[in-house]
Structure 1
Amino acid sequence: MSFISVMTEIADISDSSAKAQFVLYWGDMGSQWGVNRSVAQIHALLYLSIKPVNAEEISDQLGIARSNVSNSLKELVGWKLIRRVPIQGDRREHFVAEVDVWEMAMRIAQGRKEREIDPAMSAIDSCVQQANKEPDLHPVVLERMHEMQDFLATADRWSTQMLNVPKSKLNTLMKMGDKVFSLLKLTGKKSE
């Protein structure tokens, strides 16, 4: 899809506005990360919105079909990236996004772990259990399965630890960047 055709997806946001560009680019990035473009654009719109927005307004502003908006909102609520908020005197559902970027990142990481890493670990564990019972299986195949199982277990422990680090400490750790690698070199650890 060309940039021009993507630009037409936003109906009420000026094509040249920074807000329109943000929504479009967020939608494009989302599709590159395996997230439906509409879901990502709606998330971006709500993230930038100063007040709660209802589904009809989202549909009008982004030029997305109302049914697509409804399904996308359900997905975003499921990820806990947005929530419903009541507006007095209005029976329609209104939505706001989580605006703390660290909290958003943590929720996305937790959701991806639950949807991707946990099932992969379960599948690999099942394969390893079956492989351990197959006497004709080549030892190299079994060794590689065990290596993948160990890798996923290590990645799972690390992600669980990172999800439990307070946001302020995680921010500090990330800002340290190369200093962390320098520290590892000073303590005698070799990079691989």
Structure 2
Amino acid sequence: MNLSPLNERFVLHFGEMGSRWGVNRTVGQIYAVLFLSPEPMNADQIVDALGISRSNVSMGLKELQSWRLVKLIHQAGDRRDYFETPKDVWEIFRTLAEEKRKREIEPTLTLLRDALMETPLDEAERHAQQRMREMHQLIELATGWFDEVQRLSPDTLENLMRLGARVQKVLEFASFLRPGKDGKD
């Protein structure tokens, strides 16, 4: 398979972005090739498309499987393993967000919970613990909101995202309508 100039730019960009997203360049490129492919691909096809070693492809596919960003597919009459990305971009977004949370947010929350359980030794530790408490509350609030957003249908989520800053106007109006409220929380 030869990559067209358009596909090659996309694949190279995903390779560059991979390192910023916590995976190496090769993993980003493998994902991009699979994402663009109309059919599941086997490792040999990925090797041919990217010009990288079979071992790099195998390791990259394992990493993408651990992120749940590629699925293993079997084809009748063929003993090779084939791989594809989920077709629905919203499913990809949700999976990526869940994995990032599991790998980055949850360990931070665990550290903060443990730190907040300790008895501060002095004023500096009390101050530090208060700052950690504020961070913990913010992360808990954000993850709670994210949990609710994750349960929305893709259509509802898309509409919410399209609203953008206009959501603030809806919230201000709703606050205005509540009896006994001056519009401030």
Assess same fold via TM > 0.5: yes
| Residue of 62, 71, 88 corresponding to 1:100 | 88
Offset of residue 134 of structure 1: 2.8
Offset of residue 29 of structure 1: 2.1
Residue 94 of structure 1 aligns to a residue in which SS? strand
Question: Aligned ranges for residues 51-70 of structure 1 at < 5 Å?
Answer: 51-70=39-58
Distance 1:72 1:126 in 2: 34
Distance 2:7 2:112 in 1: 43
Cross-structure match for 2:122: 136
Offset of residue 30 of structure 1: 2.3
- Asked if the contact 1:110/1:163 (under 8 Å) is kept, the reply is no
Higher relative contact order (CA 8 A, sep 6+): 1
Q: Which amino acid aligns with 2:132?
A: M
State the TM-score, normalized to the length of structure 1: 0.84
What runs of 5+ residues in structure 2 fail to find an aligned partner?
A: 177-182
Q: Which amino acid aligns with 1:156?
A: T
Distance 2:120 2:98 in 1: 35
Q: Which amino acid aligns with 2:93?
A: A
Offset of residue 137 of structure 1: 4.2
TM-superposition CA deviations, 1:6-54 (whole Å, max 9, x none): xxxxx9324xx21111111122222222221111111111111111111
- Asked if the contact 2:109/2:136 (under 8 Å) is kept, the reply is yes
In the alignment, does 2:135 pair up with 1:148? yes
Would you identify which runs of 4 or more consecutive aligned residues in structure 1 move more than 6 Å? Answer: none
Distance 2:97 2:167 in 1: 22
Offset of residue 91 of structure 1: 0.9
Q: Which amino acid aligns with 1:164?
A: R
TM-superposition CA deviations, 1:138-160 (whole Å, max 9, x none): 33222112111211211221221
Distance 2:128 2:67 in 1: 37
In the alignment, does 2:117 pair up with 1:122? no
- Asked if the contact 1:26/1:41 (under 8 Å) is kept, the reply is yes
Q: Which amino acid aligns with 2:104?
A: E
| Residue of 13, 17, 40 corresponding to 1:25 | 13
Q: Which amino acid aligns with 2:12?
A: L
Distance 2:53 2:123 in 1: 53
Distance 1:67 1:137 in 2: 54
TM-superposition CA deviations, 1:81-137 (whole Å, max 9, x none): 11111112211111111121111000000111111111110011111112xx23424
- Asked if the contact 1:46/1:96 (under 8 Å) is kept, the reply is yes
Question: Aligned ranges for residues 41-80 of structure 1 at < 5 Å?
Answer: 41-80=29-68
What runs of 5+ residues in structure 1 fail to find an aligned partner?
A: 1-10
